[in-house]
Chains A and B, each alone.
Chain A
Amino acid sequence: MHILRRFDKTCKIISNKEICAGYFELKVKISNISKQCVPGQFFMIGMQGVFLRRPLSIYDFKNGMLSFLYKVVGKGTDILSKMQSGELRFLGPLGNGYNLETYKDLNNTIVAGGTGIASVHFLATKLKKKGVLYYGARSKKDLLCLDKFKKMGWKIMVSTEDGSKGYKGYITDILEKKIESKDVLFTCGPTQMQKKVLQIAREKNIKAFASLEEKMACGVGNCQGCAVKIDGQIKMVCKDGPVFRLDQVGL
């Protein structure tokens, strides 16, 4: 478990651009502390106009600049997307990230669904070995940062539900056929997708780590909103996760 220094402070927006319809990339500068950020970790971001902060996982971190990738889904993200400058409250880095060390001899495989691509993108920048990205989205316009994975030298398998790009259907259909037992799997995305990934990993006895998501109010374990069952016990996504060993997750 990484117990890293967390902070609660105001940070200046450097940029907040729409990278494709409905999807935004927020960049902020955070001095000193962000060197400690680990892929899979997240921040609680506070904005005027909604009561609770929003959890966003780290999409990228370089040159002292933290980036977050988000989709406008409700009031909070809508307000956030309209902020072109000014300040936001940041609490983090929070939670435990992906385990990069234990299975570093295995082949890296990433399975992402929707905006789940954000946390595994940061992961890919930190993994020493390139691997295969399995990435599913609703349609072509929802596929993000494929160029970035390509640039990093990753092999990419894509699926869309409407067939507008890649395989028509779910990404787990392809994964099931291609995955091998010498792979280590990292996954982030919708619960339905994670359930299927879990099933595949179990059947084929594959080591896997999953980043989970639940509604949370605090991000630090106090509200107990984001409870999940891990290995038969109740754990908090925010503090004990968000990344768990997939074989322990009771989805």
Chain B
Amino acid sequence: MKPNLSINFLGIKLKNPILSASGTFGYGYELADLIPLKKLGAIVTKTITLEPRCGNDQPRIAEVASGMLNTIGLQNIGVKAFVKEPLEQLKKVGVPVIVSVAGTSVKEYVETIKILSVQDAISAVELNLSCPNLKKKIVCHDLPLVKDVIRSVKKVSRVPIIAKLSPLVTDIAELALCSQNAGADGITLANTYPAMSIDVKTFKYKLSTVKGGMSGPCIKPMAVCCVYDAYQKINIPIIGCGGIQTGEDALEFMLVGARVISIGSASLVSPKRLVEIIYEMENILKEKNIKDVKEVVGMLNTVKTVC
């Protein structure tokens, strides 16, 4: 018998736990000719900001062992243009839409979410809290700001708020708990890791901004660890994310507590992976004689560990 892959996430009924990850799947509808979008659990859009952003200078991409670095700089058309065109296209796909939002200040987050909040095609908002704030510090490194952003957007949003956290903090579980206490409905763990690389042929940095975000299979064990730690402290659902390439990888995250999964870099390399992962996951569950994917969520992560 086919295992049941459908899962309830923040009151949204998903066909399966596989989502696209923000920043790796465009506005969500552009690859309709390459993959059957309808098969996805949900689509997470690239990050939207209040005003359009043209992004960073070249080079923006560098490859590293088992992964990549990027410094795109949140290039996007701005929330007003987003609700006019891409959102209309996304509505036609018929899959729940989660919009990723970033800002440099509390006000920017709030204003953007006010505009999104009146759109009925949006199921949830994911806050990108890894972008730099006005003082060029990433939001997640400024705990009072994290709380302030979440509290403030909760007041204006009529959809669930998911906080996407940066993994590079002293205590990820503490940050997750703090987000939960501020009112977040869910958490995404993790985002890219700050990283850099140098071209020794030219003696130049490989990215225009020197540092960028690292993603791909090289970060997976660290991201799994983040989910494991956070799951022990919080009771809101987690989107597991970081270097997932196969159904097996996805289940690793779920076994330690992720309720759903988002796929980023793997789908950049091969868009079809997004759908193939669903089948791979289904097959593993079948082999293990597990009837419902919900059973595996946190299955291994039941004993509180010290430190």
Contact = CB atoms under 8 A, between A and B. Distances in A.
B25 A222 contact: yes
B269 A51 contact: yes
Interface string A187-219: 000000000000000000000000000111110
Given A220-B30, A220-B34, A227-B55, A215 B60 contact: yes
B268 A217 contact: yes
Contact of B270 (A46, A223, A225, A234): A46
A224 B72 contact: yes
Interface residues of B, number: 34
Contact of B61 (A7, A91, A223, A234): A223
Contacts of B267: 222
A221 B60 contact: no
Contact of A215 (B30, B46, B58): B58
Nearest to B268: A218
- Which secondary structure dominates where chain B touches chain A? loop
Nearest to B77: A234
A222 B34 contact: no
B25 to A, nearest CB: 6
Nearest to A44: B269
A223 B269 CA distance: 10
Contacts of A245: none
Given A46-B270, A53-B269, A220-B34, A225 B60 contact: yes
B217 interface: yes
Given A51-B66, A51-B217, A222-B26, A217 B59 contact: no
B91 interface: no
Contacts of B75: 224, 227, 234
Contacts of A226: 60-61
Interface string A41-53: 0000010001111
Contacts of A214: 58-59
Nearest to A89: B270
Interface in A1-40: 5-8
B63 A220 contact: no
B192 interface: no
Nearest to A214: B58
Contacts of A51: 63-68, 216-217, 265, 269
Contacts of B86: none
Q: Which of A46, A52, A53, A220 has the most CB of B within 10 A?
A: A52
B63 A222 contact: no
A222 B272 CA distance: 14
Given A6-B34, A222-B30, A50 B63 contact: yes
Interface string B235-270: 000000000000000000000000000000101111
B270 A222 contact: no
B272 A8 contact: yes
B269 A46 contact: yes
Given A51-B66, A51-B216, A224 B60 contact: yes
B234 interface: no
Interface residues of A, number: 27
B35 to A, nearest CB: 8
A161 B272 CA distance: 44
B70 interface: yes
A51 B218 CA distance: 10
A220 B70 contact: no
A91 B62 CA distance: 20
B74 to A, nearest CB: 9
A224 B55 CA distance: 9
Contacts of A227: 54-55, 58, 60, 72, 75
Nearest to B54: A234
B61 A216 contact: yes
B70 A223 contact: yes
B159 to A, nearest CB: 24
B271 interface: yes
B70 A6 contact: no
B295 interface: no
B195 interface: no
Contacts of B54: 227, 234
Interface in B1-56: 23-26, 30-31, 33-34, 46, 54-55
A215 B61 contact: yes
A8 B36 CA distance: 13
A198 to B, nearest CB: 17
Contacts of A46: 269-270
A8 B25 contact: no
Interface of B: 23-26, 30-31, 33-34, 46, 54-55, 58-68, 70, 72, 75, 216-217, 265, 267-272
Given A222-B268, A225-B70, A234-B55, 4 more contacts: A5-B33, A51-B67, A225-B60, A226-B61
Q: Which 6 A-B pairs have the closest CB atoms?
A: A225-B61, A218-B268, A215-B61, A222-B26, A225-B60, A217-B268
20 contacts: A5-B33, A7-B34, A46-B269, A51-B66, A51-B217, A53-B269, A91-B271, A215-B59, A217-B70, A217-B268, A220-B31, A222-B267, A222-B271, A223-B70, A223-B268, A224-B23, A224-B55, A225-B72, A227-B60, A234-B75
